[in-house]
Structures are given as C-alpha cells and as structure tokens.
C-alpha cells in the first residue's frame, strides 16, 4: 500500500516539495527535511497545501506570515484545510483584529470573516 505524500516548503527559495509523510520513509519520525537548493530546513506545511507561483512574491509573503504564526494546511474531515488569507490586505485585517480583541494570531488568521 502506497503511503500519502505531504508538502514541505523552503521560504528563501520559494519552492515546494511533495515527500512521504514524516512518520514513513528513511527519515524516521523526526520529519526533518533539507532543501536541495539552499540546504536550509524545509517547513512541513501539510497535505492540503497548494504552492503559489515562484514569481508571486505577495503570496509567498502571506505564506510566510501564516507559517510563522503556526498555521498549516492539513486536511480536515470535510475536505481541505479551511479558510486561509491570500492577500496581505486580508492578513493585515486579521492581525489588527487579533490585536484589538486579544485573540491569538493563528486563530485570527484562519477566520473566514473579521467582525
């Protein structure tokens, strides 16, 4: 039985790689992967991740904010990972909301609508 693959990204290279899930394969359970371009550690983003174009710098900046806040792209029982902001404007709105209300950044970033 073939095991599913999951996505890893390198933010400095703006590259995404599909690799076996961290609990399978020669890497064992630690899940550490190294970028083949720059030798920096890859970030595990989840199996429901769709990488933006390498030229889309705004999308990679948004992705960087999401990943540094701890937001990942894992599948849920009903399909995809849920709402994720796609523009810097959406990120700024959610960050301002989080500061105003005291809600953690990771939770505010995945809110579909900001009141």
Global pTM reads 0.83
Q: Pick the residue with more confidence: 30 or 34?
A: 34
Q: How far apart are CA 29 and CA 51, in angstroms?
A: 24
Kindly indicate the confidence band of residue 108, based on its pLDDT and cuts at 50, 70 and 90: very high
The residues that bridge with 18 in the sheet, in sequence order, are 7
Q: Is the pLDDT of residue 1 over 50?
A: no
User: Is residue 47 within 8 Å of residue 75, measured between CB atoms?
Assistant: yes
Residue 34 is given by DSSP the state: B
Neighbours of 54 (CB within 10 A): 12
In the predicted model, what is the mean pLDDT of residues 32-41? 92
Q: Pick the residue with more confidence: 3 or 94?
A: 94
Kindly indicate the confidence band of residue 59, based on its pLDDT and cuts at 50, 70 and 90: very high
In the predicted model, what is the mean pLDDT of residues 3-12? 88
């Amino acid at each position: 039985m073939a095991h599913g693959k999951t996505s890893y990204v390198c933010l400095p290279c703006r590259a995404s790689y599909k690799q076996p899930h961290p609990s399978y394969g020669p890497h064992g359970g630690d899940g550490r992967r190294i970028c083949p371009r720059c030798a920096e550690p890859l970030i595990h983003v989840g199996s429901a991740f769709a990488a933006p174009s390498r030229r889309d710098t705004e999308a990679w900046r948004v992705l960087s904010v999401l990943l540094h806040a701890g937001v990942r792209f894992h599948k849920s029982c009903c399909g995809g990972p849920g709402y994720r902001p796609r523009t810097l404007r959406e990120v700024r709105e959610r960050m301002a909301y989080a500061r105003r209300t005291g809600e953690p950044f990771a939770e505010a970033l995945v809110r579909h609508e900001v009141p």
